[in-house]
Amino acid sequence: MTRAATSAGPRILVADDQPDVLESLRLLLKGEGLQIETVASPAGILTALEEREFDVLLMDLNYARDTTSGREGLDLLSRIQSIDSTLPVIVMTAWGSVEVAVEAMRRGAHDFVQKPWENARLLTILRTQIELGRALRRGQRLEEENRALRDGSRLDLIAKSAAMQPVVQMIERVGPSDANVLITGENGTGKGVVSQALHAVSTRAGKPMVTVNAGGLSEGVFESELFGHVKGAFTDAKVDRVGRFELADGGTLFLDEIANVPLGQQTKLLRVLETGELERVGSSRTHRVNVRLISATNSDLNEEVVAGRFRQDLLFRLNTIEIRLPPLRSRREDIPLLAVHFLRQHAQHYRKSLTSIEPGALQALLEHSWPGNIRELDHAVERAVLMARGDAVRVADLALRPGRESSSRLEEMSLEEVEAFLIRKALSRYDGNVSQAAKTLGLSRSALYRRLQRYGI
């Protein structure tokens, strides 16, 4: 549930069925600058929470119908959680009923006080919980803002080429379902963008899309990022922390670079995917989550399975649907559109009045092999925008170099592409000197000229 920050004092909801208790709490809390609202029954709590936003809930566990066991209050805790998972709840229990208090904490209460309470202690607990709750919600809001930013770029999925049509159809067909999707493709092919598009066309679009990048996280950090932890779970765990799975509840979790998830964590991940249940690190309390998983990788997960680095059963869970993104060199028709799109973006950003790309520059973009795919194109255009002086990008502004990786991609090129590639390489090595280039290539000058013409070099 999304909750806006309040500028006025923190809002507290107090629940107790004894009018005198409510009255003395009201007096105490008013002096602390808190905005107080009181209710006298469990049903009153639920109604209030559904209607308004609070920073903390202070609730008695015993109600007239069931005064001693605290059961009614306990049953309420999970319903409160489902209305607002980030609301700090403090329970009041009868003196001497520590077991009930402990059970309440197990079910999600953040702290407890025993009646009759000590004012100073109660106020300290309240202040701490309000602070923690606000920090948690700030974190959640940031997530949402990031999502909004990402959504902005999502609208710019450029995919006119024939090679991208299967991708576009897949997004339209499986996007709205809850099916798990695995997106594969080389670096920079747009796996992130496609994941946003999938979320945006889904029924979960109004809910958060939360991203975790599994690359570069140590096993311990990954675990607490994903599943959260409780205070004291390890040395640095000073406060409870909600994991990304819980933050994504009702929405989508995007697990980027999934091949890097350590084997031990793969087992935990599998369990959440199978049961929807997880425990925070250091806690035995089970949380249920409803999350759609989108994952992405540039590795071949089948190979990873064979090598014993990836669990096959997890792969089967992840790739209900697989979307393969073609490399940019297989969708050259999109290059002009993408280039103009990036040109607009960067020209606006750097406040330059660039409006076009000269034909020669466009030709160079079309011929480049783009080992770094769309991200490389983006960067090339950005650099050109910075370099360009007039109102059009020229070939020299692009400073395209044959990529270091390009030779390793030779096996993916056609014979003609390889020939054109080698000729370009030879020419650039000898600064355009045709005689020298012809000599290294073992061709006569005229044979080289014929080829230059054929390939439009």
Ligand X SMILES: Nc1ncnc2c1ncn2[C@@H]1O[C@H](COP(=O)(O)OP(=O)(O)OP(=O)(O)O)[C@@H](O)[C@H]1O
The residue ranges that bind Mg ion (CB under 5 A) are: 191-192
User: Looking at beta carbons, which residue is closest to Mg ion?
Assistant: 192
- Are β-strands 111-115 and 292-297 bridged in parallel, bridged antiparallel, or unpaired? unpaired
Assess 137 for contact with ligand X (CB under 6 A): no
Q: Which is nearer to ligand X, 42 or 192 (CB)?
A: 192
Q: Which does 259 bind (CB under 5 to 8 A by kind): ligand X, Mg ion, none?
A: none
What is the CA 86 to chain-centroid distance, rounded?
A: 19
At 227, give phi and psi (nearest 5°): -105, -10
Q: Which does 438 bind (CB under 5 to 8 A by kind): ligand X, Mg ion, none?
A: none
CA angle centred on 110, ends 36 and 136, rounded to 5°: 80
CA–CA separation, 56 and 92 (whole Å): 13
Interacting positions 192-221 with ligand X (CB under 6 A): 192-193
CA–CA separation, 145 and 150 (whole Å): 9
Tokens of 67: 């005064």
CA–CA separation, 404 and 382 (whole Å): 20
CA–CA separation, 296 and 195 (whole Å): 8
Cβ 298 to ligand X shortest distance, Å: 5
Q: Which is nearer to ligand X, 126 or 182 (CB)?
A: 182
CA distances from 109 to 94, 362, 434 (A): 16, 62, 78
Out of 35, 128, 187, 363, the only residue in the binding site for ligand X (CB under 6 A) is 187
CA angle centred on 383, ends 378 and 384, rounded to 5°: 95
Stretch that binds ligand X, among 245-253, 372-380, 385-393, 398-406 (CB under 6 A): 372-380
Stretch that binds ligand X, among 25-33, 112-120, 191-199, 244-252 (CB under 6 A): 191-199
CA–CA separation, 25 and 117 (whole Å): 10
Consecutive H or E run containing 331: none
By the 10 Å C-beta count (0-12 exposed, 13-18 middle, 19+ buried), 81 is classed as middle
Out of 42, 188, 228, 251, the only residue in the binding site for ligand X (CB under 6 A) is 188
Residues with Cβ within 8 Å of 24's Cβ and at least 6 positions away in sequence, in order, are: none
Out of 118, 156, 322, 412, the only residue in the binding site for ligand X (CB under 6 A) is 156
Number of residues lying near ligand X (CB under 6 A): 19
Assess 126 for contact with ligand X (CB under 6 A): no
Assess 189 for contact with ligand X (CB under 6 A): yes
Cβ 275 to Mg ion shortest distance, Å: 28
Cβ 148 to ligand X shortest distance, Å: 15
Q: Which does 241 bind (CB under 5 to 8 A by kind): Mg ion, ligand X, none?
A: none
Assess 274 for contact with ligand X (CB under 6 A): no
Stretch that binds ligand X, among 36-44, 234-242, 268-276, 373-381 (CB under 6 A): 373-381
Assess 371 for contact with ligand X (CB under 6 A): no
Interface mask toward ligand X for 278-307; x: CB under 6 A: --------------------x---------
Name which of 156, 157, 185 is nearest 171 in CA terms.
Answer: 157
Residues that bind ligand X (CB under 6 A): 153, 156-159, 185, 187-193, 298, 338, 341, 374-375, 378
